[in-house]
Structure 1
Amino acid sequence: MMRLIQIGAGNMGAWWMQVIDDSDDIEPAALIDIDSARAAALVRKHRSDSIGVYKTLYDALNRVQADAVLDVSPPQFRLAHIHAALDRNMPILIEKPLAASMNDARAIMDMVNAHDSLVVVAQNYRYHVPIMTVKSLLDAGEIGRLSKVTVEHYRGLSLSGFHQQLAYPLLQDMSIHHLDLMRFFLGAEPLTIFARSWNPPGSAFNGDASVAAIFDFPNHVVVTYDASWSSNGLETSWNGNWRFEGEAGVITLRDDVVTVQKRTGKISGRDIVFDEPRVIAPVAGMPSGQHYLLREFYEAVRGNGVPATIAQDNIHSIRMVFKVIESIKSGTVVTFAE
């Protein structure tokens, strides 16, 4: 049984506690939150009063026996929590994003390399069933070589707390999922980025809640990203709507439904003839989202494999976020070359 110290008892912390409850191989050793009453209430709801509640990770590390750490705190605390865990040679699973700044991300990578420790980022969107369904089609070459990918994400949100302190709340919170998925789907790193951001009238945010970006990927693949947290209707799913243009057809993910339409090789007058669109059955037979990530982390702690979203890989996804911001601020095309 793996014993886990969890940091964070807010909404995401409550969800992760449920994911832990669903596991037969993992149990909470302690719960940490600056709001002790909130943490105690969450412990009572999910387990028992025997689980220790602490205000800092150092307190918990000094008082309980544990095998690993789960960090579900806001990103500005990530660097300190990873430092504390790695000082005890303890593997840590962290909520996205990896860090609050690129400087923090580099400092984290220095620590990871110095300690040769396991730091895994919870990019759970990779393991949503619709996403895995699309990935299986792309890996099988269903529509041949890609030329264009279109990503749309629209939600109407009103969030308080640290989101109101962010200059780019959508980019600095949600977009890491979609940018990471670009790398995941294409199996490649971006070459350039040009982006703009703005805050629509009536937005509930202080910072820019909308963004439009164009990425160039290898093999002449262009990816456009259009997203907003200040949408006024017809929202997308959290996964977003995706369209993949290939030489042999198109794959779409819309409202979490995957559809394929392919060329027949025939022409009628001036029109290319296409097959009838096919709705693709979701992949099945494996855990998804946070359940998949927690299981993968558990196996890695036991020495069985290396998770796909370790910090050494995820540094490239968070770098995309800050390159988008760099392009917005400069008004220029930004390259990813060091």
Structure 2
Amino acid sequence: MALRLIQVGLGGIGGHWFRTVLNSNTEVEVVAWVEIVEEALQRAIEKWPLPQERCFSSLEAALEAYEADAVLITASLAGHVPSARTALLAGKHVLMEKPFAPTIQEARELVTLAQEQQRILMISQNYRFFPRALAARQYVQEKTLGELGTVTVDFRHYANRAPVETNRHYHIWQPLLADMSIHHFDLMRYVLKQEPVSISCTSWNPAWSRFVEPPAAAATIRFDGGAVVTYRGSWVSPGQPTSWTGDWHMEFTDGELIWNDRSEIGGVTNNIFVRRLGEELAPVESPALVPTDFAGSLTAFVQAIRLGSEPGSSGRDNLKTLALMFAAIASAEQQGLPIEIASLL
């Protein structure tokens, strides 16, 4: 039997979920949709299209009208905590976009509420469901190249062409460190199988940027297993764009691993290479991972509910990713002052 789902948030990311995942997924049945912005609600009803009688301007109304097992929250950050709280108090499992709360305190409260209600709270860290990320994680886990030491991650995109007046992206809070880098911060924890200890971060707004808040940053992150990550990210780089996962260079005792993941393009097989000491660079076979990306998140959520198990990116686990994100922002706001991650947990 398909999992009955209510989707909250029908904007940009909500539309992506609907078109690429929910619309063709047999594991779930979307029984209702919620959007508090009337214009966005009507636009979704007309464009997607959606049945008018199943669309609501409040989650409470949707829950009262239709039986559901879970709630998917794809609203903007301001709607995350209120929607999740309403869903959990109604006894529903919750899958939500990241960052899942605007403060660590509110995130902790949701995690505690989910435990009290005995419901699953999962954060969609969809980059964990890319095959090259899994392959890199296996190299670390199996110590194929020995011990991991130094990692470099570069993310570059040029999202700086749209008119300032009409582009919402230019005006959001922390467009890189909160809206994008949280993907990379979580991927570091997943791939390295280590937890962050401290971070020193600098962010800036280049002269040609159309963003209100800094769209570029650089950071050094120390992990508890000894790895040190150098991270650079930019929404306004004129350089060669990277994949969404970023370009990774990982140095081990006996060689290096170089990878990114462009699985979303399709037909790409060699985005991961290994070079052992004294040998030439060689392609690596990456595991078949189906489904990937957002669909992988949804499948993991459904499986966790059916098995009664805690998913890998549960709210409890994701507190550590959230803490790294907030530490990066705090460090950048204090001119690169190192921040201990434990101080935020």
* Contact 2:9-2:75 at 8 Å conserved across structures: yes
| 2:16 corresponding residue in structure 1 | 15
| 2:192 corresponding residue in structure 1 | 186
TM-score, length of structure 2 as denominator length: 0.89
- Structure 1 position 44, deviation (Å): 6.1
- Structure 1 position 41, deviation (Å): 5.2
Q: Deviations over 1:12-56 (max 9, x none)?
A: 212211312222221111111134464455456657527600011
Distance 2:34 2:170 in 1: 21
Distance 1:6 1:29 in 2: 8
| 1:296 corresponding residue in structure 2 | 300
2:283 pairs with one of 279, 282, 285: 279
- Structure 1 position 314, deviation (Å): 0.3
* Contact 2:130-2:289 at 8 Å conserved across structures: no
Percent same amino acid among aligned pairs? 29
Matching of residue 213 in structure 1 with residue 219 in structure 2: yes
Distance of aligned partners of 1:42 and 1:133 in 2 relative to their CA distance in 1, 3 Å threshold:
farther
| 1:271 corresponding residue in structure 2 | none
Question: Which amino acid counterpart does residue 4 of structure 1 have in structure 2?
Answer: L
Distance 1:41 1:193 in 2: 42
- Structure 1 position 309, deviation (Å): 0.5
Distance of aligned partners of 1:165 and 1:44 in 2 relative to their CA distance in 1, 3 Å threshold:
closer
Question: Which amino acid counterpart does residue 336 of structure 1 have in structure 2?
Answer: I
Please list, as runs of the form range in 1=range in 2, the aligned pairs for 1:125-204 lying within 5 A after superposition.
Answer: 125-158=127-160, 160-161=167-168, 163-166=170-173, 168-204=174-210
Please list, as runs of the form range in 1=range in 2, the aligned pairs for 1:257-268 lying within 5 A after superposition.
Answer: 257-263=271-277
Tell me the C-alpha RMSD between the 2 structures.
Answer: 2.0
| 1:3 corresponding residue in structure 2 | 4
- Structure 1 position 250, deviation (Å): 0.1
Please list, as runs of the form range in 1=range in 2, the aligned pairs for 1:314-329 lying within 5 A after superposition.
Answer: 314-329=318-333
* Contact 2:330-2:339 at 8 Å conserved across structures: yes
1:248 pairs with one of 254, 257, 280: 254
- Structure 1 position 102, deviation (Å): 2.4
Distance 1:48 1:326 in 2: 42
Unaligned runs of 5+ in 1: 264-273
Q: Which moved more, 1:124-133 or 1:298-307?
A: 298-307
2:339 pairs with one of 328, 334, 337: 334
* Contact 1:237-1:255 at 8 Å conserved across structures: yes
Distance of aligned partners of 1:48 and 1:153 in 2 relative to their CA distance in 1, 3 Å threshold:
closer
Aligned residues between the structures? 327
Q: Deviations over 1:285-318 (max 9, x none)?
A: 5211111111111122223532100000001001
| 2:231 corresponding residue in structure 1 | 225
* Contact 1:21-1:46 at 8 Å conserved across structures: no
Distance 1:304 1:117 in 2: 9
- Structure 1 position 71, deviation (Å): 0.3
Distance of aligned partners of 1:283 and 1:92 in 2 relative to their CA distance in 1, 3 Å threshold:
same
1:308 pairs with one of 306, 312, 315: 312
SS of residue paired to 1:172? coil
Q: Which moved more, 1:252-261 or 1:67-76?
A: 252-261
| 2:268 corresponding residue in structure 1 | none
Distance of aligned partners of 1:47 and 1:169 in 2 relative to their CA distance in 1, 3 Å threshold:
closer
Question: Which amino acid counterpart does residue 222 of structure 2 have in structure 1?
Answer: D
Distance 1:35 1:214 in 2: 39
TM-score, length of structure 1 as denominator length: 0.91
* Contact 1:261-1:276 at 8 Å conserved across structures: yes
Distance 1:70 1:201 in 2: 39
Q: Which moved more, 1:57-66 or 1:301-310?
A: 301-310
* Contact 1:31-1:51 at 8 Å conserved across structures: no
* Contact 1:6-1:28 at 8 Å conserved across structures: yes
